[in-house]
Amino acid sequence: MLSTSDLAVARGGVTVLQGLTFALAPGQALILRGPNGSGKTTLLRSLAGLQPPAGGAFHLPPDSVAYAAHADGLKSTLTVAENLSFWSQIYGGPSIDHALTALNLTQLARRRAGELSAGQKRRLGLARLLVTGRSVWLLDEPTVSLDVASVALFADVVRAHLTKGGLAVIATHVDLGLPEATILDLDPYRARVIQSTGFDEAFA
C-alpha cells in the first residue's frame, strides 16, 4: 500500500537520505530509527506530500495520509472538544467521542487547550488521528512528553489501527511495545556529505 523506490529526500536543498526502498502492506507498522538530524522528519514530511522528494518515487493511495508533526496544531483559546471537532468536520465529520475515550480525554473535553499539560496536549494532538479516518499514519516522535501509561494507551490505539487494516510509519526513540513492527535504521541511507579538504585542491 505504501511503497518507495530509491527515494531520496532533501532538507534545505541538501540531500539527507537516499536509496530508500521499502514497502508496507495494510496492517504493518514501520519504526524509523536514527540519530538526531538523520532525516526522519524530512522523510515523513516528504511522504505526507509537504515537500517533493529529491529523487526516486513513492506510491500511496490518494488522500490516505494523516500526519502528526512535532507541533500539535492546537488552538489554545478553543476547548478540547472544539479543537477535535474542527478537525473532525474538516475530514468529513466522524464523531469525536471515540477519539476522546481512546486517549482518555473525556474528562478534559470542556477545558481550554491552553490550560492542558504538555502530555495532555500531545494526547489531544494524537486523538486528531482518530477523527481523520485516514489509513496511513505518519507519526513524528508521537510519544514526546507522554508518561508510561499514556505511551501504553497510545500503543493500543496504534495496534487497533493496524488490526483494522491501517498502516503507520513512526519516527521514535522510545520502545512503543509494538513487537510486530518492522524497524528501519536510517543510518545506512544517510547521504554522504562532500567534505571540503581545505585549500589543497585549489593549488593542485
Q: How far apart are CA 146 and CA 94, in angstroms?
A: 26
- Return the residue of 26, 35, 49, 188 that touches another protein, per CB under 8 A: 49
- Tell me the residue type at 100: L
Q: How far apart are CA 152 and CA 113, in angstroms?
A: 23
Greatest Cα pair distance in the chain:
71
Contact call for residue 78 and another protein (CB under 8 A): yes
Quick one: residue 19, left, alpha or beta (phi over 0 = left, psi -120 to 50 = alpha)? left
- Return the residue of 23, 50, 144, 149 that touches another protein, per CB under 8 A: 50
- Return the residue of 71, 148, 193, 202 that touches another protein, per CB under 8 A: 71
Q: Which single residue is written with the C-alpha cell 532533501?
A: 10
Contact call for residue 165 and another protein (CB under 8 A): no
With respect to another protein, which residue has the nearer C-beta, 43 or 74?
74
Candidates 31-39, 88-96, 146-154, 162-170: pick the segment binding another protein (CB under 8 A).
88-96
Q: Is residue 41 within 8 Å of 140, Cβ to Cβ? A: yes
Q: How far apart are CA 60 and CA 166, in angstroms?
A: 12
Contact call for residue 136 and another protein (CB under 8 A): no
With respect to another protein, which residue has the nearer C-beta, 119 or 159?
119
What residues line the site for another protein (CB under 8 A)? 48-52, 63, 65-67, 69-75, 77-78, 82, 85-87, 89-92, 128
